[in-house]
Amino acid sequence: MPATPDELAQLDSLGYVVVPSVMSLEFRVALKQRLQRIFTEEGENAGADFKQEPGCGRLANLVKKGDIFHHVIGNEFILNFVRSVLGSDVKLSSLNARRADPQNERRQPLHADMGAISDENGFWVCNTVWLLDDFTAANGSIRVVPGSHRKEQLPQDNLDDPLATHPNETLITADAGDVIVMNAHLWHGGTENRTDKSRLALHAFFCRRDKPQQQYQNRLLDDDVKRSLNPMLRKLLALDDPLNDKISADVELRSGFLK
């Protein structure tokens, strides 16, 4: 089914929308099992190929770590939401996973992904969060400041304390199998997981084609992975794009808040 006018209107006005029941139970379980195996294989080095975050488990560069992830980045239904934010010409910026560990009192500061501010051509970053567990008020869901994607300011330049609760913030709660599509200029941050279970999600992060990737896929992917990709995925990953090679090759890995 295509995106509904109400869903697109919410994404435009509030900066986020929860798209229900995108993943089947079978696919969600398979994704979660694959990620758990990678966490086990990488151990204490998990996430070190991008950024590690205290109190959380992170995985990075997932395009090369299993064919199952290709079905996430190439999902045309979700890509239609992304294109409604960024325009028709988009590419994958990074594909990572984040696990909020149990009994963790850390929260993320409010931030915009990649420290991005919209430019003369509009918005240029959009994140899709694939929920492999329920997002509840207690287990580390995402807090957002609705409408803040239109401020053209970063929270760290506007707020005395980006870690503090914002008077206009709301918490996104949703069910496992849903996907949160978020204009990544929106001020947002993960919250504390006060439960005794971890909370896992996959983040497929997209950008406009004229901007650098967060993780330069042409360098990261092995040749055998590249050969296995169909033309649509190669375009999404910008593997045959001289402009992307020029603008992404020498860009330092960037997060909105991780240093």
Q: How many CB atoms lie within 10 A of CB 17?
A: 24
Cα 195 to the chain's mean position, in Å? 23
Choose among 16, 186, 191, 54: nearest CA to 114.
Answer: 186
Looking at residue 107, its pLDDT comes to 95
How do the domains of the chain map onto residue ranges?
A: 5-248
> In this predicted structure, what is the pLDDT of residue 251?
75
Q: Which of 118, 122, 127 is nearest to 98 (CA)?
A: 127
Q: Give me the DSSP letters along 7-59.
A: HHHHHHHHSEEEETT-S-HHHHHHHHHHHHHHHHHHGGGTTTTS---TTEEEE
> With 70 as the cut, is the pLDDT of residue 204 above it?
yes
pLDDT in tens, 46-95: 999 888 999 999 999 999 999 999 999 999 999 999 999 999 999 999 99
Q: How far is CA 158 from the centre of its chain?
A: 23
The whole-number average pLDDT for the span 165-170 is 98
CATH architecture entry for 5-248 = Sandwich (2.60)
Helices vs strands, H then E, count in the chain: 8, 9
